[in-house]
């Protein structure tokens, strides 16, 4: 009979020195690739590579910088072989054609951006400044905009402006020059400004944000378009993966939801949560047999004057990602 494997002193030291960075590395990989599932896999690969080379780590840089070097290059390698992840609004302008149900993309036509549950990356509750910074750097619109940047420019911008690495540190991570980092950052900023419009969002813990989320949930659960009118701003946008069409303006959003989505009272059930530093909900839809089954997740951009943007992710697997069951008791 063989004895169970035991951790070695080197294993224990590796865990003690690296494990505390796992959540922030997950956030970093998510910003890079736009998928919670992919980010989780890339962090696992990062730790595997780090463990294999830990005995040769000489401490010339901090453990944190060393891990970010590995994680960033793992992401860059992964991105070289994958198309970028998008939202419908990143593909084309809002739909303004004849009235019809939104058009769905083919199964292999687009790789869609995914939301990130806040619980995956929440900093310590005793560090409120870190909480705000983490939320702001993971806003859905920002992450969507980052995906439009070339991968190395994306890495430069994240390392410099989100993680506050110096130009020299960033150059070391990417094995390039300080001049190349400065040039890449300038181009990345310019491109991000072209593709991203960032609203002044209120924190998901703000009572106004929770009231907006509660109103949105109630509108669906009661099939009440009138409630949606109270929640959405006049310039609100609505988009949902895997649909190519998206809507701009409260009237158009409510029309599409009322005509093709809301259904009858009781068809929908939602449970409040947070994702990407924004109010969100996991979504269940009643099937023909009366069972409430996982349908996906919705993320709201909550502002002081109402919801400016609704993004629905129609993917039942996301419900489990947030830690909720596939089937909900009626």
Averaged pLDDT of the chain: 92
> What CATH class is the domain 92-139+200-330?
alpha beta
The number of helices, as runs of H, and strands, as runs of E, in the chain is 13, 9
DSSP-derived pairing of the beta strands 327-328 and 268-275? unpaired
What is the rounded distance in angstroms from the CA atom of residue 236 to the CA atom of residue 97? Answer: 18
Q: pLDDT for 256-273, tens place per residue?
A: 999 999 999 999 999 999
DSSP-derived pairing of the beta strands 232-241 and 306-313? parallel
Q: Give pLDDT, residue 128.
A: 56
What is the rounded distance in angstroms from the CA atom of residue 131 to the CA atom of residue 43? Answer: 21
Q: Give pLDDT, residue 96.
A: 92
Q: Where are the domains of the chain?
A: 92-139+200-330
Q: DSSP readout, 155-193? A: HHHIIIIIS---HHHHHHHHTS-HHHHHHHHHHHHHHHH
Q: Give pLDDT, residue 136.
A: 86
What is the rounded distance in angstroms from the CA atom of residue 159 to the CA atom of residue 52? Answer: 24
| Of 103, 77, 84, the residue nearest 247 (C-alpha) | 103
Q: Give pLDDT, residue 139.
A: 95
Q: Give pLDDT, residue 28.
A: 96
Q: Give pLDDT, residue 60.
A: 75
Tokens representing 169 are: 């540190």
Q: Give pLDDT, residue 242.
A: 96
Spans in the chain with pLDDT lower than 70: 1-9, 123-133
């Amino acid at each position: 009979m063989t004895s169970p494997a035991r951790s070695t002193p080197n294993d224990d030291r590796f865990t003690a020195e690296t494990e505390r960075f796992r959540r922030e590395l997950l956030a970093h990989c998510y910003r890079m690739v736009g998928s919670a599932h992919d980010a989780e896999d890339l962090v696992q690969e990062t730790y595997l590579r780090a463990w294999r080379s830990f005995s040769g780590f000489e401490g010339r840089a901090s453990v944190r910088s060393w891990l970010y070097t590995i994680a960033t290059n793992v992401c860059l390698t992964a991105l070289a072989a994958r198309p970028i992840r998008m939202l419908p609004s990143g593909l084309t302008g809002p739909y303004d054609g004849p009235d019809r149900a939104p058009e769905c993309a083919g199964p292999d036509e687009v790789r869609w951006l995914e939301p990130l549950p806040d619980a995956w990356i929440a900093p310590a509750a005793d560090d409120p400044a870190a909480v705000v910074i983490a939320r702001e750097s993971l806003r859905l619109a920002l992450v969507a905009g980052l995906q439009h940047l070339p991968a190395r420019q994306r890495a430069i911008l994240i390392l410099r402006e989100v993680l506050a690495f110096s130009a020299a540190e960033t150059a070391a991570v990417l094995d390039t020059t300080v001049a190349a980092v400065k040039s890449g950052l300038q181009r990345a900023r310019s491109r991000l400004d072209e593709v991203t419009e960032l609203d002044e969002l209120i924190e998901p813990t703000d009572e106004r944000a929770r009231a907006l989320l509660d109103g949105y949930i109630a509108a669906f659960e009661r099939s009440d378009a009138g409630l949606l009118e109270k929640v959405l701003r006049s310039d609100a946008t609505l988009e949902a993966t895997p649909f190519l069409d998206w809507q701009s303006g409260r009237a158009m959003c409510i029309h599409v939801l009322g005509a093709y989505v809301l259904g009858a009272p009781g068809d929908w059930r939602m449970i409040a949560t947070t994702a990407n530093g924004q109010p969100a909900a996991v979504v269940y839809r009643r099937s023909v047999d009366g069972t409430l089954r996982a349908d996906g997740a919705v993320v709201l951009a909550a502002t002081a004057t109402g919801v400016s943007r609704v993004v629905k992710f129609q993917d039942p697997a996301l419900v489990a990602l947030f830690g909720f069951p596939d089937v909900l008791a009626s």
